[in-house]
Structure 1
C-alpha cells in the first residue's frame, strides 16, 4: 500500500486510483472516517477516466497516529507534501465535513504561496476547483455572524461523550444524525452504521478528540483568498453541520455557487451518492 513519509516522521496512507494520466481529483474525508468513505465517488470518477486520489488524515485509518499535529494547519501542510510528492497540478478538491475545512485552508495557502515544491510542482498551479460538501466552513462554532452554528456547549458535550464512552458514542452518531436515520420513514442501513463505526474506531482517540477544536476555526479569510470556482453542496436537513452554516460559504468567495439537497442529511456522499457523483462530474466538465 502507498505511504508517504512526512517531514515530521508521520507515515501518511493514500490511494491513487483510476487513470494515471487523467484529470486529477483529490478527496478529503470527514470526522472520524478515512478515505474508504469516498469509495462510491472514487469508483465512479475513476471509471470515467479521472485520476482519483484520497488520503487517510493523520491519526485516522491506516496513517500513523501521532500525539500532535491534529489541527487544520498541519492537515493542510500534510496535503501540501502529498501534492508535492505526486507532482499534482490543476486538481479539483472535494472535501466532506471536516475535510472541507482542511481543503479550504490548503487551497487558500497554495494560491497565496508562490514558488516551487521539492519535486518541481509550482504551488500556484496545484488547485483548479474546490467542492465543499456538508463542510464545516465558514465556521461551525456559533458566532454573531453565524447564528446557526453550534454553541460551544454542544462541542463540549461531544467531547464529554467521547471521554465517557467513545464506543457507544460512535454507534449513536451514525444510528442517528449523521445519516439521518433518526428521521421518520428513514431507510436504515446497518451496513453504513457498522462501516462508520469501524472507521471511527480505527482512528486514534487523540485525533478524533482534538478534531473537535478544528470545528471552532473561522475560515472566512481563507475563503476570501480563493480565486477559483467553488461549488458548495449542502443538505437542508443536515443535523451535524446545519444548513444555515454551509449556505453562508458562497458569501465569502469570488466565484461560488450553492446547490441545496432538499431534505438531505450530513452524509450526502453516502445517502445521495448518485446525485453527488453526477454533480461532481458536471462540475469537472465545466
Structure 2
C-alpha cells in the first residue's frame, strides 16, 4: 500500500505514468500461444489450441428452428416484440419453465443504460374486462355485467389515436442448430474475457475442451495479459476493441463457431453475432448484464486521475475480491493472483471504463439476434444483478438462463467443473425437429354418401307415341 502511494505521488509530481505500459512478462511455454498483429504496432496474444483428433465424425443435421418475430419501436420509446415462430417459441418456453407457449407478445419500455432495468411484462389474453376505479383498485367483470349499486358509472373513454411506429423490424428466417462435438472438425470455440482480466481466467475451460477435441481460441484484449498496451485513450474504446475481435474472429473462424464471453466480453460476442450471423452457431453469456446500450458513467471512481487510481489500486483489488467472489478466503486470493484476473495498469483500467460507449447495443439490437444463447449467472454476483440477465432472457429470441448458487462474478474460477459440464451439455444440445402433421385423406361424409345411394335415377324422356306416328 505504501509503495503504491509513493509511486502515485511521484506520478503526480513528475507528470509521468506510475507504471510503464508494456506487455506483461510471461513464463508460460510458447506452445499454443501466438502473437497476432491486428494493426501496425497493435499486437494481441492469442492462445490457440488445435487438438489431435484420432476420430473425426461428420456433424449431424440437427434441427431447424423457425425464427419469426416482429420488433416495433414507437416514438414514445416503447418496444413491442411479437414472436411468430411457433416451433422456436414452443421449444424455448419448454426449456425454460416446462410449459409450451407457441406465440407470445412482449411489450417493454426502452430503458436507459444508467437506470435499472424494469422487468418485462408479457401481456396475457383475457376474456373479461379490467377497469380501474377511482381508488386505484382493479375490478374485473364480464362484458355483459353491470356495475353494482353504489359504484360510479364509467364514463366513455375518448378514442385513442393510433400510434405510428418509429421503425419496425421483421425477422423471418430458419436456423439449423446441431450438436457440436469435439470430433467435429468444423467447430471452433472463442473465449473473450472482460475488463481487468486476461485469457488466463479461461485456463480450466481451455484445458477441458481441448482435451475433448475442440479447437479453442482465447485472445488477450489490448492492454491486458501479454498484449501490447498503447498509451493512448482512443486505443481502448469499444469500437477499437471490437475491431480487434472482428479481425481475430476472421483469422480463426470455422464453419460453426461458438462464442463464450464474460462480463464486458459479452458485448463483443453480441457484436460478432451481428457481424457474422451465419457463422455463429451458438453463444454463451456469463454474467454479461442486461440488453442496454453502453454509456460510461460520469460519476465514477475511474474518472479520477491515473496517479490517484494507482494509489487506490490495493483498495480496488480488495473491492474486486469482495464483489467478484462468493467467498473471500485464501483460495480466492490465490485464484486472483494465479489467473491474472485483476492485473492491469491504472491507465488501461481508466481508459477501458471511460471507453465503454456503444449506443447501438440497445434492446432492439439484442432482440434482432437469432442465435441460441445460454446465459450463466452467479447468484452472489454484486456487479451484475440477476434481474438484468432475466431481462436479457426475455428480450432474446432463443435464450436459456442458468443460475449457479455457489458462484459470483468470476464463476468460471469459483466452480470450473460445474461451468465446464454446463457448457459441454449446451454444445451438444440440438433441437428436436417435430415431424409435420399427417394430412388425413378427404372423404365424403357418410350422410352425403347415404343420400346419394337413395337417389333413384329418373327414367329417360321419350317422345310420345303420337309424335312418332307423325
Q: What is the TM-score when the length of structure 2 is the normalising length?
A: 0.51
Is the CA contact (8 Å cut-off) linking 1:132 and 1:233 kept in structure 2? yes
Cα deviation code 1:246-271 (max 9, x no counterpart):
22111221111111112531111011
Cα deviation code 1:31-54 (max 9, x no counterpart):
201000100011111111111110
Q: CA deviation at 1:161?
A: 9.3
Is the CA contact (8 Å cut-off) linking 1:3 and 1:12 kept in structure 2? yes
The corresponding residue for 2:270 is 104
Is the CA contact (8 Å cut-off) linking 1:100 and 1:137 kept in structure 2? no
Structure of larger gyration radius: 2
Q: CA deviation at 1:236?
A: 2.2
Is the CA contact (8 Å cut-off) linking 2:34 and 2:47 kept in structure 1? yes
Q: CA deviation at 1:19?
A: 2.1
Separation (CA, whole Å) in 1 of partners of 2:247 and 2:404: 34
**1:244-263 counterparts in 2 under 5 A?**
244-263=387-406
Moved more, 212-221 or 250-259: 212-221
Is the CA contact (8 Å cut-off) linking 1:140 and 1:245 kept in structure 2? no
The corresponding residue for 1:148 is none
The corresponding residue for 1:12 is 44
Cα deviation code 1:9-58 (max 9, x no counterpart):
41111011142746211000122010001000111111111111100001
- SS, match of residue 401 in structure 2: strand
- The alignment status of 1:171 with 2:314, answered yes or no, reads no
Q: CA deviation at 1:170?
A: 4.2
- The alignment status of 1:210 with 2:361, answered yes or no, reads no
Query: Which one has a larger percent strand, Structure 1 or Structure 2?
Result: 2
Q: CA deviation at 1:225?
A: 2.4
Separation (CA, whole Å) in 2 of partners of 1:19 and 1:156: 44
The corresponding residue for 1:156 is 300
- Root mean square deviation of aligned Cα: 2.7
The corresponding residue for 2:407 is 264
Moved more, 11-20 or 250-259: 11-20
Q: CA deviation at 1:219?
A: 3.9
- The alignment status of 1:130 with 2:130, answered yes or no, reads no
Q: CA deviation at 1:282?
A: 0.6
Moved more, 171-180 or 10-19: 171-180
The corresponding residue for 2:199 is 35
Separation (CA, whole Å) in 1 of partners of 2:253 and 2:411: 30
Cα deviation code 1:68-102 (max 9, x no counterpart):
23122222221111122224331100001111111
Query: Which one has a larger percent helix, Structure 1 or Structure 2?
Result: 1
The corresponding residue for 2:223 is 59
Moved more, 271-280 or 68-77: 68-77
Q: What is the TM-score when the length of structure 1 is the normalising length?
A: 0.80
- SS, match of residue 265 in structure 1: coil
